[in-house]
Amino acid sequence: MGEAMLSAILGKHLATAQSVTVSYISPQRRQYLEQEYGVAVSDNNRQAVAGRDVVVLAVKPQNLADVMADLKGSLKPEQLALSIIAGVRLETLCQGLGHRSVVRAIPNTPAQIGEGMTVWTATAEVTGQQEEWTTSILGAMGREIAVGDEDHIDMATAVSGSGPAYLFLFVEALVDAAVRIGLSRDMAHELVLTTILGSGHLIEKSGREPAELRRMVTSPGGTTAEALRELEQGKFSDLLSRAVAAAYNKAKQLGDS
């Protein structure tokens, strides 16, 4: 996701490659990023953040403690720390960094192609200018929504953050079902993917609620009604609701740990 942010920032001309420094522990990864994007690279976190307006934290949660220890006390009040690390709350970041101008964001994987959904929140110390920077950076990866209550970040994690995986599983299962009734896998994949994409665009552009669209396509006694009856008997909606609740509870647990 860090590379997706880098690509979006440079692609939208929010910064020049010469103004960006990426810190990474792996020499091979540093070489790749330098060659691919023309940015400066470093293995020293403090040197990488020196003089930068925005410091993006895009490390694995298990590596965060070491990174915060490196950076603690080095960030200036006018610098913005922007974290996309799952499950790490604002107060944890503020204490670990010794810094109060912090944004916590949860993007999702479609951000890699500029079609992402990111929900974010900020500490009270984040300035209007820093909020504008945040909006520009996250908006370069797709859509962004700012929330005032940090609990909404955990909720968003369960819906938009984990949501792509739910859809990928649904597509996978629908393709397999199509193959089982006799379609080739290539044809099944094309039918399912085009149907999913077209249906999503229809919801977006029609202005109608999904329930209304579902009723419009469901003729009494028809094939769609028969399929939906099977899904209802299998508690499809309840199962999805339990899945989202499980993801939300896990997100809260990660934040409390």
pLDDT tens digits for 59-112? Answer: 988 889 999 999 999 999 999 999 999 889 999 999 999 999 999 999 999 999
Bridge partner list, 25: none
- Mean per-residue pLDDT over the chain, rounded: 94
Determine the average pLDDT of the residues in 163-174: 97
- The structural domains of the chain, ordered by start, are 2-148 (3.40.50.720), 163-256 (1.10.3730.10)
Rounded Cα distance between 33 and 117, Å, is 25
Please say if the pLDDT value at position 255 is more than 80.
no
Is residue 207 within 8 A of residue 213, CB to CB? The reply is no
pLDDT value, residue 62: 86
197 φ, ψ (degrees, to nearest 5): -65, -45
Please say if the pLDDT value at position 182 is more than 90.
yes
pLDDT value, residue 19: 93
- The amino acid that residue 9 corresponds to is I
Please say if the pLDDT value at position 257 is more than 70.
no
Rounded Cα distance between 149 and 250, Å, is 18
The greatest distance separating any two alpha carbons of the chain, rounded to the nearest whole angstrom, comes to 68
Which helix or strand (DSSP H or E) is residue 169 part of?
helix 163-180
pLDDT value, residue 198: 97
